Structure 1
Amino acid sequence: MQETDKLTNHGPYMLAGPVARPDAGALPLRGDLAHVGLAGRYFVPHYAVPQPRAVMPGGAPLLVSPEEGAAELCTLMEGDSFEVLDITGSWAWGCLSLEGPVGYVHVDRLESLPG
């Protein structure tokens, strides 16, 4: 392989400097975790396969952070499929789709996984 080939053949995962971060809530991407569908586009320590859960009757607010009183991004409607990527305590972090919106929902507002 010639020296010029080494410089131009970078492959799909070249670390070439900072990547522009999307707006918060736009993509299922945090500093520690991302939706597996973003692998190859964004580098994080862990990628998660979404676990779809249905929103319970009465709907649920999708919040920007896992705390009471946090700003509401939108209201999830009963029966919506919410892709859970992480659960910490009583909060689930996830998205409606790979394109968002992304936020936190009380786990008691989502159907439980069979098991």
Structure 2
Amino acid sequence: MPPHKTFALVGRSRALDPTRFAVRGDLADVRLADQVFAPHYAAPLPRTVAAPADLRAGRTSDSQILVSLVPGDAFELLDITGDLAWGVAPASGCVGYVEAAALGDGA
């Protein structure tokens, strides 16, 4: 079993670009635990895009499109709320929301 890491809150916090770092007010990617404090952390679940979909910066359909995903693209799922999935498109490094129905099973 790997040794436990310990973290300390030191210095000022810095704002991270939410389209590049998987951090929200309620949740963060566990891989960022040494950089940000969040109430909850999630381990990414590998998924494959099954249908064309736009990864958007926000939850609404008029939010900025960060990248268009095509079938076969990898997606790292962190949260599903309603019809939307939030996570990372590793090929582009973009973080955002996509229609959950566009995602297939694990990669």
* Same fold flag (TM > 0.5): yes
1:105, distance to aligned residue in structure 2 (A): 0.2
Match of 2:34 among 29, 40, 47: 40
Larger Rg belongs to? 1
Q: State the identity as a percent.
A: 42
The 1:90/1:112 distance shift into structure 2, 3 A limit, reads: farther
Partner of 1:3: none
Alignment of 1:7-18 (within 5 A): 13-18=7-12
1:112, distance to aligned residue in structure 2 (A): 4.4
Give ranges in structure 1 of 5+ residues lacking alignment: 1-10
Partner of 1:54: 48
Partner of 1:68: 61
TM-score (norm 1): 0.78
Q: Over the residues paired in the alignment, what is the CA RMSD in angstroms?
A: 2.0
Q: Aligned AA for 1:77?
A: V
Give ranges in structure 2 of 5+ residues lacking alignment: none
TM-score (norm 2): 0.83
Work out whether 1:78 is the aligned partner of 2:71: yes
Higher helix share: 1
Q: Distance in 2 between matches of 1:14 and 1:84?
A: 27
Does the Cα contact within 8 Å between 1:82 and 1:95 map onto a contact in 2?
yes
Number of residue pairs the alignment of both structures matches: 101
Partner of 1:105: 98
1:17, distance to aligned residue in structure 2 (A): 4.1
1:33, distance to aligned residue in structure 2 (A): 0.7
Secondary structure at 2:77 match in 1: strand
